Amino acid sequence: MFEIVLFIAVETLFFVFIYLFLILEKIYSILGILGGIILLSILINKIDKLNSFLKKCFSEYKTPAILYGIIFIIALPILLRNYPYQIFILFNAGLFALLALGLNWQIGSTNIVNFATGASFATGAYTSALLAIHMGWSFWILLPIGGLAAAGIGFILGLPCMKTKTYYLSLVTIAFTLIVYLLLNNLSWTGGPDGIADIPFPKIGNHSFGSPIRLFGWEIPFQANFYYLTVFLIALTFIVDRRLRYSRIGLAWNAIRNDEIAAECQGIDVTYSKVLSFSLNFFFDGIAGTLFAFCMSHISPESFTFNVSVTVVTIVIVGGMDNAVGVLFGALLMTLIPEKFQVFQNYRMLIFGFVILIMLRLRPKGLFPQTVRKYD
């Protein structure tokens, strides 16, 4: 009994930290909370008794622990109902998580360093925005369509690139991102530098995503609509990720990552596998793009630069190659922390650059490297 109580207490402590981290404004308070989280993590890591205790509890009480976590995630916007901006940055973190989870299939599982996330994100956003404005299609149809449009681009981009070596492929993806940015900025039907505005909010029945959620007398800011949708999509992506990993597709990707020639000699169609990774990654990027467009209701090329690609690549490298939980964690880390330390916003890219250099040197597999597949 005591174990359960202690375990719940530790988990609750984390949740409290996260909540405080989100709502506190003063730099010192934020640093304090951040320090608290880091301290707790280090303590757990170092004190073996605590470490093994928590591990044991987590494997025994896995389901209630996760359930508790889910309750927290669902309740969070309610707790944050007076802090709409905080809900928004969580939504933003979720978007990056979606982008990174997809990219993980390429960088983490297959070792294809794809710098074109800015372009695939843009494809989903612009496709759905244009279709919404010119054809009046509903958001719910556009969500998968944005994904398919991006996947189509991924297929086209991936196919001829398959004979090219890793570093060439990366160059092609970088060049592609820059080309897309240039085109978006110059073509008239994409709105040029001003982009596309007045994208309508999605609706479920009578409830528009632009209006707050009224529940039990609480008024939860409208950003929560997008937050919940994103959480749902992330959960779906997690399931897809897990299924891919424990399938011959995921195994084929890992084979390719290690040795393409040996992979071919196992009967793996390497080209097909690689194109598949491109298409799947881009599909989810396209969905994220659609989500982004409909939440911001106005998109411009500035949101789809090479820097966006770099950010997502950083998240995968830092969070963990081929580890969905690590990537999620990396996404939260790389988006929430810069948000809270607004003063560093300007230095964001510089810090990311250093972070990549340091991580690759010290912990190239990321904070949460991939785990071994277990088949029980």
Partner 1 sequence: MMENDHILITEDLTINFGGLRAVDGVDFYIKKGEVVGLIGPNGSGKTTFFNLITGIYKPDQGRILFEGENTIGEKPYKITRRGIARTFQNGRLFADISALDNVIIGMYTKQKTNLLDTIFRYRRVKTELREGAKRAMELLAFFSKELKDNCLKIVADLPHADRKRVEICRALASNPKLLLLDEPTGGMSPEETEELMQDIRKIKEQNKNITIIIIEHDMSVIERVADRVYVFNYGKKIADGPFSVISKDTKVIEAYLGEETEDVET
Partner 2 sequence: MTQFIEQIMFALMLSSTYALISVGFTLFFGAINIVHFSHGDVAMLGAFSGIIIYGLFGFTGLIGNVPSWLVTMIIFLATFILIGFLGTFFERTVIKPFRKSPLLMVLVTTIALGIVIRESVRLFYPQGSNPQVFPKILPQMNFEAGNLIFRFDHLLIFLISILLISFMFLFINRTKTGLAIRAISQDIEAANLMGINSDIIIAITFFIGSILAGLAGILIGSYQTVVRFDIGLMGGIKGFSAAVVGGLGNFYGAIVGSLVLGFIESLTSAYIPGGAPYKDVFAFIIVIFFLVFKPSGILGRMAPIKI
Q: Which is nearer to partner 1, 236 or 325 (CB)?
A: 236
Look-up of token digits 């008024």: 219
Look-up of token digits 């609706």: 203
- Of residues 12, 29, 52, 186, which one binds partner 2 by CB under 8 A? 186
Inter-residue contact 315 to 273 (CB < 8 Å): no
- Of residues 163, 198, 374, 376, which one binds partner 2 by CB under 8 A? 163
- Of residues 306, 341, 367, 369, which one binds partner 2 by CB under 8 A? 306
The Cα 308–Cα 93 span in angstroms is 13
Backbone φ and ψ for 218, nearest 5 degrees, come out as -85, 150
Q: Which is nearer to partner 2, 174 or 249 (CB)?
A: 174
Answer yes or no whether residue 13 interacts with partner 2 by CB under 8 A.
no
Please list, in sequence order, all residues whose beta carbon lies within 8 angstroms of the beta carbon of residue 200, skipping any fewer than 6 positions away: 132, 139, 294, 297
The Cα 270–Cα 112 span in angstroms is 12
Answer yes or no whether residue 26 interacts with partner 2 by CB under 8 A.
no
Q: Which is nearer to partner 2, 69 or 160 (CB)?
A: 160
The Cα 230–Cα 173 span in angstroms is 27
List, in sequence order, the alpha helices (H) in the chain: 2-23, 27-46, 48-60, 62-79, 84-104, 117-135, 139-161, 166-186, 223-245, 248-258, 260-264, 270-296, 306-319, 324-340, 348-362
Answer yes or no whether residue 255 interacts with partner 2 by CB under 8 A.
no
Residue 249 site contact among partner 1, partner 2, none (CB < 5 to 8 Å, cut-off depends on kind) = partner 1
Residue 51 site contact among partner 2, partner 1, none (CB < 5 to 8 Å, cut-off depends on kind) = none
Q: Which is nearer to partner 2, 141 or 187 (CB)?
A: 187
Answer yes or no whether residue 171 interacts with partner 2 by CB under 8 A.
yes
| Part of the chain binding partner 2 (CB under 8 A), chosen from 86-94, 199-207, 223-231, 342-350 | 342-350
Residue 361 site contact among partner 2, partner 1, none (CB < 5 to 8 Å, cut-off depends on kind) = partner 2
- Of residues 68, 170, 254, 333, which one binds partner 2 by CB under 8 A? 170
Answer yes or no whether residue 111 interacts with partner 2 by CB under 8 A.
yes
CB of 250 to partner 2, least distance (A): 19
Kindly write down the DSSP assignment for every residue of 135-178, as one continuous string: H---HHHHHHHHHHHHHHHHHHHHHHHTTS-HHHHHHHHHHHHH
Answer yes or no whether residue 342 interacts with partner 2 by CB under 8 A.
no
